[in-house]
């Protein structure tokens, strides 16, 4: 009996020590808390009155953020944010009227320290048409500040709040109709650093996902207005990072070097969709899920609620292009939710030996800027479209869409995908039949250059008339093919006819 008692007593004595040991390991994962206080106690949240001179906050223009705060006392921070309504491109050849905080979507990144007193100035540019306000999720107070910042164009509002809770918070406009203001891009992030700051990393980047609703289809050219019914039905036309297709691809990709640590501040402005955020080829070492104080480790894909945010830290070990996606995958490839992180540096074959992942994963949408495509679109509108314009545009579109199967030089894959280079099959084909292939697809056995292929080519229904015309013109004029030109009108005619059963011939 006494042995039992002493065993129990021993374990009881050990238990606190074990808990303490586990806890200190946990503490290394969590941001440490001020001594003598728990996260929820007022003693740690309200650090007292501001000290020193007021500071004018430096705001971050996406995808960059202001430098870490590096301060050991609470201060008064003055934040000035201007609302600007402006027309900007949302995709190549497509424009949209955005309502922005600071001229960008997402709006400027605000960075303060827990305990700071923030004097917030909201300005509404005189050329704007709409009144606006701001709701910061990091504010403790009515409407998050929305009640006190309702501002007509050509006016300025001011309110002050104390940043009581550390974390990464969304801010957005909350003027009726709220859904429309958010859908037009009025969101951003405010980081309230814990008093001792965040662990140091080599790069910090700012990414924010949003869904966009236009009356035209995905990539339909021209100025597109907001589609209220689609927004209510939650059927977005675009799902984008940082407000624009291609905002984080090509020469605007995020960058890092092998061996460096990267921190992504990722928000989701919505208005409707939840994001399944994933970086292809990388694992998040730490995810401060929901932008809060605790971190999960070794995460592949993390959920970011609409109106929420998260912070992910990871180290890049091998060079390559890592693709940021919303893993609800049709959003990445058919609505534009795709960005890139390019990592340079020496290979490490022991970690990854293979080729770059580029051409398979990226599918249609992440080639270099589709500059020639927009030139062709403009020329088409002006009536000056030349065969050369079409060939150049077609080349870029081919690289994004067709080369996946038919390969970059049109050589196809033996036994699987027929070649397009010097193809006798194409040479003797009527133009209408040629056009119907990308439009309606092709199934069944075909013989090309003496070889038989029996595969399924799906219809390329995401391509518009001018895109099909440009791709076909490029194919006809490349790799020893006989030449020729296909026009947008010819494509339109074929599209209007229904696909016939003889398409497989």
CA dist., res. 70 & res. 51, Å (int)? 14
CA dist., res. 334 & res. 64, Å (int)? 27
Name the one range near other proteins by CB under 8 A: 60-68, 142-150, 305-313, 457-465.
Answer: 142-150
**Per-residue b/e over 410-435, b at no fewer than 16 CB within 10 Å?**
bebeeeebbbbbbbeebeeeeeeebb
Smallest distance, other proteins to C-beta of residue 125, A: 9
> Which residues, 6+ apart, have CB-to-CB distance to 211 below 8 Å?
183, 236, 238, 239, 240, 270, 271, 272, 273
Q: Using omega within 30 degrees of 0 as the cis cutoff, is the peptide bond preceding 165 cis? A: no
Smallest distance, other proteins to C-beta of residue 238, A: 15
Examine residue 272 and tell whether it contacts other proteins (CB under 8 A): no
Name the one range near other proteins by CB under 8 A: 9-17, 205-213, 222-230, 310-318.
Answer: 222-230
Interactions with other proteins, residue window 282-341 (CB under 8 A): none
Smallest distance, other proteins to C-beta of residue 83, A: 11
Q: Which is nearer to other proteins, 222 or 483 (CB)?
A: 222
Examine residue 49 and tell whether it contacts other proteins (CB under 8 A): no
Interactions with other proteins, residue window 75-114 (CB under 8 A): 85-87, 97
Q: Which residues pair with 276 in a beta bridge?
A: 303
> Which residues, 6+ apart, have CB-to-CB distance to 160 below 8 Å?
117, 118, 119, 120
Examine residue 174 and tell whether it contacts other proteins (CB under 8 A): yes
CA dist., res. 166 & res. 48, Å (int)? 15
**From the CA atom positions of the chain, what is the Rg in Å?**
28
Contact 216, 90 (CB under 8 A): no
**Of 184, 179, 183, 182, residue with least CA distance to 171:** 182
Examine residue 355 and tell whether it contacts other proteins (CB under 8 A): no
Q: Which is nearer to other proteins, 18 or 147 (CB)?
A: 147
Smallest distance, other proteins to C-beta of residue 214, A: 10
Name the one range near other proteins by CB under 8 A: 28-36, 60-68, 141-149, 341-349.
Answer: 141-149
C-alpha 252 chain-centroid distance: 12
Examine residue 143 and tell whether it contacts other proteins (CB under 8 A): yes
Q: Which is nearer to other proteins, 103 or 305 (CB)?
A: 103
For other proteins, which residue of 32, 49, 67, 142 counts as binding (CB under 8 A)?
142
Contact 431, 490 (CB under 8 A): yes
Examine residue 232 and tell whether it contacts other proteins (CB under 8 A): yes
Examine residue 53 and tell whether it contacts other proteins (CB under 8 A): no
Name the token pair of 223: 């100025």
Examine residue 229 and tell whether it contacts other proteins (CB under 8 A): yes
Site for other proteins, rule CB under 8 A: 85-87, 97, 126-131, 133, 135, 142-143, 146-155, 174-178, 180, 184, 215, 225-229, 232
């Amino acid at each position: 009996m006494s042995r039992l008692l002493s065993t129990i007593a021993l374990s009881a004595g050990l238990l606190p020590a074990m808990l303490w040991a586990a806890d200190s390991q946990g503490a290394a994962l969590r941001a440490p808390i001020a001594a003598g206080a728990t996260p929820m106690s007022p003693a740690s949240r309200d650090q007292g009155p501001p000290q020193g001179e007021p500071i004018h906050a430096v705001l971050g223009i996406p995808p960059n953020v202001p430098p870490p705060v590096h301060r050991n006392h609470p201060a008064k921070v003055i934040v000035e944010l201007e609302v600007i309504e402006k027309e900007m491109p949302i995709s190549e050849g497509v424009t949209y009227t955005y309502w922005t905080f600071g001229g960008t979507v997402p709006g400027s990144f605000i960075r303060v320290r827990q305990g700071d007193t923030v004097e917030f100035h909201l300005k509404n540019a005189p050329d704007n048409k709409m009144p606006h306000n701001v709701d910061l999720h990091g504010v403790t107070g009515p409407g998050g500040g929305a009640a006190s910042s309702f501002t007509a164009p050509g006016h300025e509002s001011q309110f002050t709040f104390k940043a009581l809770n550390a974390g990464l918070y969304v801010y957005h406009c909350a003027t009726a109709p709220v859904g429309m203001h958010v859908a037009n891009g009025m969101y951003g992030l405010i980081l309230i650093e814990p008093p001792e700051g965040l662990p140091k990393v080599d790069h910090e980047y700012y990414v924010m996902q949003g869904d966009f609703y236009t009356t035209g289809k995905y990539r339909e050219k021209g100025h597109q207005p907001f589609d209220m019914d689609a927004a209510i039905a939650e059927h977005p036309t675009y799902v984008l990072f940082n407000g624009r297709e291609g905002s984080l691809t090509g020469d605007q990709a995020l960058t890092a070097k092998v061996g460096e640590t990267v921190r992504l501040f990722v928000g989701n402005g919505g208005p409707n969709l939840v994001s399944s955020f994933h970086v292809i080829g990388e694992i998040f070492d730490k995810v401060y899920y929901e932008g809060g104080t605790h971190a999960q480790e070794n995460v592949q894909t993390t959920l970011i609620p609409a109106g929420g945010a998260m912070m992910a830290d990871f180290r890049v070990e091998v060079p390559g292009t890592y693709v940021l996606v919303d893993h609800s995958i049709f959003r990445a490839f058919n609505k534009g939710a795709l960005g890139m992180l390019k990592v340079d540096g020496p290979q490490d074959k022991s970690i990854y030996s293979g080729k770059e992942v580029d051409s398979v994963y990226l599918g249609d949408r992440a080639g270099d800027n589709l500059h020639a495509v927009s030139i062709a679109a403009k020329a088409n509108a002006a009536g000056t479209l030349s065969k050369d314009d079409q060939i150049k545009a077609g080349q870029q579109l081919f690289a994004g869409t067709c080369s996946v199967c038919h390969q970059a030089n049109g050589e196809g894959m033996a036994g699987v995908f027929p070649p397009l280079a010097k193809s006798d099959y194409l040479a003797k084909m009527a133009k209408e039949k040629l056009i119907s292939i990308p439009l309606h697809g092709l199934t069944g056995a075909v013989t090309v250059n003496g070889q038989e292929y029996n595969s399924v080519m799906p219809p390329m229904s995401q391509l518009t008339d001018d895109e099909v015309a440009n791709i076909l013109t490029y194919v006809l004029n490349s790799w020893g093919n006989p030449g020729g030109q296909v026009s947008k009108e010819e494509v339109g005619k074929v599209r209007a006819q229904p696909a016939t059963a003889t398409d497989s011939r």
